[in-house]
Amino acid sequence: MSWFKKPKQKLSSEQKKELPEDVWDKCDECGEILYSRRLAENRYVCPECDHHFRIPAAGHIDNLTDDGLEEEFDLELSSADPLDFEDSRPYPKRIRQAEEDVGPGDAVRTGRGEIDGRSVHVGAMDFRFIGGSMGSVVGEKVRRLATSALDAGDPLIIVSASGGARMQEGILSLMQMAKTAAALEQIDEAGLPYVSILTHPTTGGVTASYAMLGDVILAEPGALIGFAGPRVIKQTIGQDLPEGFQRSEFLLEHGMIDRIVPRPEMKEAVSLLLHHMT
């Protein structure tokens, strides 16, 4: 699994001695030292505590499909800088840095593949690309994915992981929410199934558009899912948030998602759903 780059961890010199490169990983959640190959075989879910490690878009696509993408769409799309946006760094520099660190394709990879021999259109977000934020490229790629699914009559599956709309493209980022929702309206009208998969974290403009519009909404265990971020809510209401607030289990309890599915079982769950919804 070449897509899985080890997270850059700050290790104390003591830990460094304990963790020879590329052989061992440490679970962020329970602290267990894990044999890297075993972790990979378990789809980057800690065998000890079930913590789901954050994985790139390609990892989710691998996990869901028979043999990856048969055709990748719109990889050439790259963010422009419509506002000449500059904070501590100019926006184009941030983009170039993210492309260097993560790869091309902005914060979502899209294409056509198969699940148990059934042709599907699939998209997966990559949180490493500027926090999985949705600017024009993410919105446009999701829209084109939906339009292509419509033309092919394929089911649509999107794996979300996003901090929300991308500030650096201002109002144009906000409009991507309308754009993607409009594309899903067409999918709905055409009677095609759309399965939305939520991973840690899915918040803001992505949650308030395509992520919550699935015919069926699945979530990985323990994922943070919400409209507003916990920090903003805490600031606004001036009190502590309840235990487990905005986690997958909380959303299931409140009727906002259909099922919580561990990553190693995700493909089977989606496949069975598509069996019933096609």
Partner 1 sequence: MAFDAEEKFEELRERISDLKETAEERGIDMSDQIRELRDRLESEREQAYEDLSRYDRVKLARDQDRPFTLDYVEHLFDDWVELHGDRRYGDDGAIVGGWATFRGRSVMVIGQQRGRDMEENLKRNFGSPHPEGYRKAGRLMELAEKFGKPVITMVDTQGAYPGIGAEERGQAEAIAANLKRMAGLRTPLVTCVIGEGGSGGALGIAVADRVLMMENAIYSVISPEGCAAILWRSRDEAGKAAEALKVTAPDLLELGVIDEIVPEPGGGAHADPEAAAGALDQVLGDHLEEVADRDPEELVEERREKFYAMGAWEEKEPPDGARLDR
Q: Which of 34, 46, 55, 61 binds partner 1 (CB under 8 A)?
A: 61
Q: Which of 98, 137, 161, 216 binds partner 1 (CB under 8 A)?
A: 137
> Would you say 35 or 245 has its CB closer to partner 1?
245
- CA pair distance 99, 194, nearest whole angstrom: 29
- CA pair distance 36, 53, nearest whole angstrom: 12
The DSSP H or E segment spanning 273 is helix 266-276
State in angstroms the smallest separation of the CB of 222 from partner 1.
16
246 binds partner 1 (CB under 8 A): yes
State in angstroms the smallest separation of the CB of 52 from partner 1.
21
């994915």: which residue's tokens?
145
Long-range contacts at 19-28 (CB < 8 A, ≥ 24 apart): 27/51, 27/53, 28/53
Give how many residues touch partner 1 by CB under 8 A: 76
- Each residue 156-195 as x (binds partner 1 by CB under 8 A) or -, in order, gives ---------xxx-xxxxxxxxxxx-xxxxxx-xx------
- Each residue 195-234 as x (binds partner 1 by CB under 8 A) or -, in order, gives ---------xx-xxxxxxx------------xxx---xx-
Buried b (16+ CB within 10 A) or exposed e, 1-13: eeebeeeeeeeee
Judge residue 146's burial from the number of C-beta atoms within 10 Å of its C-beta, 0-12 exposed, 13-18 middle, 19 or more buried.
buried
State in angstroms the smallest separation of the CB of 79 from partner 1.
6
Q: Which of 71, 151, 265, 268 binds partner 1 (CB under 8 A)?
A: 71
State in angstroms the smallest separation of the CB of 177 from partner 1.
6
Cα three-residue angle 186-211-171, rounded to 5 degrees: 85
